[in-house]
Structure 1
């Protein structure tokens, strides 16, 4: 669940991204790992999906490397883009925390490898 004010808009990284619409101080909780904010399915359920739904999960969701469950965010966190040098990190509880100050209109980025097994964004459409 996103805990700060954000806006979805075009990203120079690609497609759409999530941007800060407020100043976010280093150490601020940006996204709280809350199961009601994600659709969670097993790999077996995923395997039974149509190709279209698999594409949706791969593009906007991820295969959680800790739980081996497919997760599709139901909030705008699905617009977090990957960066090898993100401005957030994932803590031990799966929450996204600001690594340093994030200014208004800065894109909020994550390192997908912190939580994604690689079955999601690495797969071509």
Structure 2
């Protein structure tokens, strides 16, 4: 779920992008997985979806590295475009409380991304897909569009 005021508009990077409506300070939480609003499908549950749900989720989801769960944001976070020099990402060092680590330290799907630097009002919000999305080569057009979900080499 997007945690800052933002809007979808044409992007110079690709198609439409997500743009900040107000200045955002470095370290501000930008997006957090919210169970019940955002969805995380196991690879098996995702594969069982009918068309056109498969095509829609493939285009707008990210494939979580590690467990290959398909994560679909319930809002316009799906319009955050890739950048090799992003203005959002995971905190450095990662904060387990922001990442949703449970009481025994296990990871959960409650990941939070933050502003890595100040973001100006009107600036496009970007992230580096390579840091978390196992489907990045497919999204960036480096493998055929028919490549299996999450089967793309880094």
Higher-strand-fraction structure: 1
Secondary structure of residue in 2 paired with 1:74: coil
Contact 1:27 1:98 in 2 (8 A): yes
Q: Deviations over 1:1-51 (max 9, x none)?
A: 211110111111111110000000111111123223312211112222335
Task: Give the TM-score of the pair, scaled to structure 1.
Answer: 0.88
Where do 1:48-87 residues align within 5 Å?
48-87=48-87
Contact 1:62 1:121 in 2 (8 A): no
Count of aligned pairs between the two proteins = 125
Partner of 2:28: 28
Question: 2:140 matched to 1:124?
Answer: no
Root mean square deviation, CA, Å: 1.9
Partner of 1:100: 117
User: How far apart are 1:76 and its partner, in Å?
Assistant: 1.1
Decide which structure has the larger Cα Rg and report it: 2
Question: 2:8 matched to 1:8?
Answer: yes
Secondary structure of residue in 2 paired with 1:35: coil
Partner of 2:132: 115
Task: Give the TM-score of the pair, scaled to structure 2.
Answer: 0.73
> Which range moved further: 79-88 or 31-40?
31-40
Contact 1:46 1:54 in 2 (8 A): yes
Q: Deviations over 1:34-90 (max 9, x none)?
A: 223312211112222335322211210011113321111111111111111100112
> Which range moved further: 37-46 or 19-28?
37-46
Secondary structure of residue in 1 paired with 2:139: coil
Unaligned runs of 5+ in 2: 100-110, 147-154
